[in-house]
Structure 1
Amino acid sequence: MPAPVAPLRRSLTSHVEREDEPRQRPLDFRLIARLVRHTKPYARLRNGLLLTVLLRSFQLPALTWVVAAVINGPVRERDMQGVLNGAILFALLALFTQVVMHFRQRWALELGESVVGDLRNALFAKLQRMPMSWYHGTKVGRVISRMTSDMEDLRSGVQEVLFVTLVQAGQMLVAGAAMLYYDWTLFLIVLGLAPVIWFINRRFHRRLSSALRNMRESFSRVTSTLAEAVVGIRVTQAFVRQEENSRGFAELAEDHSRYNTVVLRTHGLFLPLLELNSQVFLAILLLVGGLRVLSSPDSASAAPPAGSVVEGFSAERLPPKVAGRASDVGDLIGFFFMAGLFFSPISVIGNQYNQAMTAMAGAERLFSLLDQEPAWSDPPDARPLVHLAGAVEFQNVTFEYVPGRPVLHDISFSVRPGESIALVGHTGSGKTSIINLVSKFYLPTQGRVLIDGQDVLSIDTTSLHHKLGIVLQQNFLFSGTVADNVRMGRPGATEAAIREVFERLRCEELLKSLPLGLDTPVGERGGSLSLGQRQLICFARALIADPRILILDEATSSIDSATEAQLQAALRVLIAGRTSFIVAHRLSTIRDADVVLVLEDGRIIERGTHPELLASGGRYADLYRRFAAAGQSTVPGG
């Protein structure tokens, strides 16, 4: 019986809660202030933009004031010259308004691009510095989501939401001041709108916040699954998992669609409520303002028709006309024009609310990653390695990837400069953990790792890595040419130096077989080359760096026997004079090592040279004799 979908969705929801801790307010002014600080390098552009925002706040009310003034003055007095002058003034002001609007939008786009570009570079630099432990616990799709969707949400927040909201808020303030001048009593009625808007915002604030967080997390799961599916497509097709993977992805896509629908429905209810509230208040203003005009002394001079609303009122019973009271039709028209400018930004700001919540969610996640401290970092007094002889010593080292679950137990050994040490053991025995500690990708939980007598804690990591050469089983190549990938070991290497490295590896035939030689594109992850060709390029990359400590992590396990024979002589040249740590399957490589360490369950159970271990008749001898008798050249588990 197939498992129900609900448990899967519950687990996805719990993942959202874990990822979102600690939860922050959607409109967090600390985040907004931090974004504003990122505009400091572009202060001139930002200040010019703020000036255009200020001008835009006054321009539409000014245009409206001109129209109201013309109606209330020249039009009412039938002054054609005054109407013409008012029309010319309106046209000039409207032209200036469009010019300001152009620069407001243009400078906002430029400022947003600059800020987002800086943040993207800072995020990439942060990712380059994060330790291996962080990558082991973080999905690729989530990293991509921070760099793409979250960054784009932030761009929208800087370019549009922030400055559009400032313009609209400024327009409301100017229009409110004008309304206060026209009639402060009617303006008090407008102020009655504030508690209603506050209540609506508060009610929808939490609903939108939760919905947007869930939507962003569901999108991260979709991108993460997509990235894994593309990288692992060979395994998927080999095990005929297309339909199962598609069903799993469909459930994630349905989750994302469901969360997105909740956001749209909530937002679709939020905006109409804001507009309805504004329209109700305009109706109230129309009723009260109309009664006030009809009840004014000017209106009372003409006898009201029988049965009218103002019948029975006389001029003596009405308060005198004072400044700030719309007691005639012209003032009422001006007040309503300004009321329209006051209420219209409410729906615009409400429309920006959804984007603001999304931008806040993106900013929160982005800054959370930028602020995340690595599991460890070099102390301020870390010393760079000027010269490295290559002596390595482990002193009672215990190491844990997960607290409470050690993978190495009290490991101690020493390697003299220039010695090669082979690490042998079944999968999970601790071989890779040892080379991770030598490389300072991790730090020991207990004990010390010494290089040339110095604790790795006190050594500058960058200077150490400059003197390391690493060849991994995965033989990872970057997009670019063969020469580009070899230069990863020494960026300034000339083409002649690269060719010399291939000659030392005795791989000249490799270059001849490639259509463009060193300029041959390797494709994404080296997909256009054979497995052996990719591995040879990785060897060349390590050799050109001229490292003092060399790490070969099952570097020849993917090489066929013919290619291996070609590499053995080159490996001897590469290893000669260098301290080498070799995690190897090949017996031929192990036989040449100065010291062999046999590991089991994170402990060293045997150590010695190849002849010594064979003579002792222990675990290593059993493995060697069994596979040598079977005519195989590899030790199981390496």
Structure 2
Amino acid sequence: MQDHDHENEVQFKPLEWGLIRRLFSYARPVRRKVAWLSVVTVTRSIQLPMLTWVMGLIISGPIAHHDAGLLVWALGGYFIFALSVDGLYHFRHRLALEVGETVVSGLRTEIFEKVQRQPMSFFHRVKLGRVLGRVTSDVESLRVGIQDVLFVSLEQGGQLIVAAAVMAYCDLVLFLVVLGMAPILWGVNRRFRMRLSYESRAASESFSRVTATLAESVNGIRVTQGFVRQQTNSGLFRNLLNAHSRLNLALVRTSAILVPMLEVNSQFFIAILLMVGGWRTFNDLMTLAELIQFFFLANLFFSPLATLGTQYNNALVAMAGAERVFWLIDHKPEWEDAPEATALPDPRVAATSAPSQTHGARVAFRDVTFGYDPQKPVLHDINFVAEPGQTIGLVGHTGSGKSSIIGLVAKFYLPTAGEVRIDEREVRTITSDSLHRQMGIVQQQNFLFTGTVLDNIRMSRPEASDDDVREAARQLDCLDIFEGLPDGLLTEVGERGTSLSVGQRQLICFTRALLADPRIVILDEATSAIDAMTEARLQTALVKLLHGRTSFIVAHRLSTIRHADQVLVLDQGRIIERGRHEELVAAGGRYSELYAQFTQTAAAA
């Protein structure tokens, strides 16, 4: 995989017709509006110079000849023409916004859908901030490219061409003078606009680092105060602010040079036109009214140069953003369900037994080796069988491979070698969705979505009624805890569940798993966040949750696996002991040592 997730990403990219064409493919739902927008833009680019030309005709006609009656009619026609120009601007602006919003919504929808389908390995390599950057800043640069760069450039370019044609028609000599000065103004503007774009982008990214550090500091305030890191963190934050200030000052200095320089150039060009135009007027080669008219047209000719320079820089930024966005959209998952994969049969569909009597699945690992990087295995030759309804305990120090095993059971990853079989079917032949619908997972790092307690529990089974949710909570002996919340099950959990205690969040996750009526249950350090009193209540409820279901328990508190049908003791990715709790304690091996440490710690507490 080509790694585009680097810190120093390309900020500018040359224009590519392929990227532009693909970008506009997202505007197909509003292609008629795109056609009308193009017509309106071209029409308006012609109208603006014509409006100035009409102004010159009024000056050289009724005003120069003191014809008041004709002047009234001329002003009325000019007013109507001006209204049509402004009316077209309204429609151009509105249509451009609608087209841009359609493209942006399509891109963000597709990015979200593609990211949702990526395997877990993708999120190990690609930082969350990069994904968010594609959806926010990069897509916004594409919005600018659609709404402004293309159609504003088309309008301004058309205005420049029509103004040039009218100037050439009015006075070819003065037009050639203007044409000779245009490259100078374009060059000055182009150089400084590129520099401004670089510095503006750098300042924006610097500010993102400032806000990210601020957010991190607020979220980690307990750690900061607990380790007396206030002064250190303040120093790091000051350094970021100083760097941001330097970039902002550089941006301001460049802008302070560009604006006066453009102003000086404009005044210099005006002086040249006045000199040449005045000489031609003195020699009766043109009238004073024609000179005034030419100055209006020259202004229309020069004004798009600065705008086009800015839009060109924006186009380069948009191209770089498009490349990054389409890389994310086009990035193929390392693995997907095989085309021949079929759904795992679900015995629950035809079952007449109560949810607590769900038939468990048979899970077998056969010579399984696995590595997040295939060249660096973290599991070696893992073999075991979990019969339907059995509970498997996974024990070992951090990094021993416990979470890797449950990741393979859940088909979040595929084994590097060997087979994982579920109900005698190799996991590659099973569709992921059908397997996940028969699973219930509770992790140590409980995750709740914004919404109510009821919404979060019902996430595992959206069609469940309120009574179904209450019954699941009652079976886990925690309904009274939920009803004791300020608004009961309708209590808002806040972002990531911040309005609830850690234990309450974990109980929601347990209830969510039970409501799914799973065949396979995975508890990954699931009780480590629950206090001892709540865990005592939960132990009885866990018997109901696990009854009849095949379960895998990664244990921090060894009390949760005392009744496991089989305990696997892992060390450096290998199974070094296996058996029931009593057998392993009596054997006096690694598990016995771990259990002795656990009991001593529990007694001291």
TM-score scaled by length of structure 1: 0.84
Task: Give 2:542's aligned residue.
Answer: 571
What amino acid maps onto 2:99 in structure 1? L
Alignment partner of 1:44 out of 26, 32, 36: 32
Task: Give 1:509's aligned residue.
Answer: 480
Alignment partner of 1:232 out of 220, 227, 231: 220
- The alignment partner of 1:596 has SS state of strand
Deviates more, 1:203-212 or 1:403-412: 203-212
Q: How does 1:71-470 map to 2 (within 5 A)?
A: 71-193=59-181, 195-197=183-185, 199-200=187-188, 203-204=191-192, 207-208=195-196, 210-295=198-283, 299=284, 327-352=286-311, 359-360=318-319, 362-387=321-346, 390-402=361-373, 404-470=375-441
- The alignment partner of 1:192 has SS state of helix
Would you say the 8 A contact 1:212–1:357 is kept in 2? no
- The alignment partner of 1:394 has SS state of strand
Would you say the 8 A contact 2:11–2:320 is kept in 1? no
Would you say the 8 A contact 1:422–1:590 is kept in 2? yes
Task: Give 1:487's aligned residue.
Answer: 458
Deviates more, 1:406-415 or 1:87-96: 406-415
- The alignment partner of 2:364 has SS state of strand
Q: Distance in 1 between matches of 2:252 and 2:424?
A: 63
Q: Distance in 2 between matches of 1:100 and 1:259?
A: 40
The alpha-carbon distance between structure 1 residues 54 and 193, as it changes in their structure 2 partners (threshold 3 A), is same
Would you say the 8 A contact 2:393–2:553 is kept in 1? yes
Q: Distance in 2 between matches of 1:129 and 1:468?
A: 18
Deviation at 1:550, TM superposition (A): 1.0
- The alignment partner of 1:397 has SS state of strand
Task: Give 1:308's aligned residue.
Answer: none
Task: Give 2:353's aligned residue.
Answer: none
Q: Distance in 1 between matches of 2:275 and 2:243?
A: 49
What amino acid maps onto 1:544 in structure 2? L
Would you say the 8 A contact 2:444–2:526 is kept in 1? yes
The alpha-carbon distance between structure 1 residues 411 and 42, as it changes in their structure 2 partners (threshold 3 A), is same
Deviation at 1:495, TM superposition (A): 0.2
Would you say the 8 A contact 1:382–1:460 is kept in 2? yes
Deviation at 1:98, TM superposition (A): 2.1
The alpha-carbon distance between structure 1 residues 172 and 585, as it changes in their structure 2 partners (threshold 3 A), is same
Deviates more, 1:434-443 or 1:452-461: 452-461
| Structure with the greater alpha carbon radius of gyration | 1
Structural RMSD (CA): 3.1
What amino acid maps onto 1:105 in structure 2? H
Deviates more, 1:94-103 or 1:376-385: 376-385
Unpaired runs of at least 5, structure 1: 1-14, 300-325
Deviation at 1:483, TM superposition (A): 0.6
Deviation at 1:514, TM superposition (A): 2.1
Task: Give 1:317's aligned residue.
Answer: none
- The alignment partner of 1:551 has SS state of strand
Deviation at 1:262, TM superposition (A): 3.3
Would you say the 8 A contact 2:281–2:288 is kept in 1? yes
The alpha-carbon distance between structure 1 residues 448 and 248, as it changes in their structure 2 partners (threshold 3 A), is farther
Q: Quick check: 1:525 aligned with 2:496?
A: yes
Deviation at 1:385, TM superposition (A): 2.5
Q: Distance in 2 between matches of 1:375 and 1:363?
A: 23
Task: Report the count of equivalent residues.
Answer: 591
The alpha-carbon distance between structure 1 residues 219 and 354, as it changes in their structure 2 partners (threshold 3 A), is farther
Task: Give 2:526's aligned residue.
Answer: 555
- The alignment partner of 1:380 has SS state of coil
Q: Quick check: 1:542 aligned with 2:513?
A: yes
Deviation at 1:567, TM superposition (A): 1.2
The alpha-carbon distance between structure 1 residues 267 and 443, as it changes in their structure 2 partners (threshold 3 A), is farther
- The alignment partner of 2:7 has SS state of helix
Would you say the 8 A contact 1:208–1:354 is kept in 2? no
Deviation at 1:364, TM superposition (A): 4.5
What are the superposed Cα offsets for residues 369-390 of structure 1, whole Å, 9 maximum, x if unpaired? 3333333333333323243762
Deviation at 1:404, TM superposition (A): 3.9
Would you say the 8 A contact 1:212–1:361 is kept in 2? no
Unpaired runs of at least 5, structure 2: 348-359
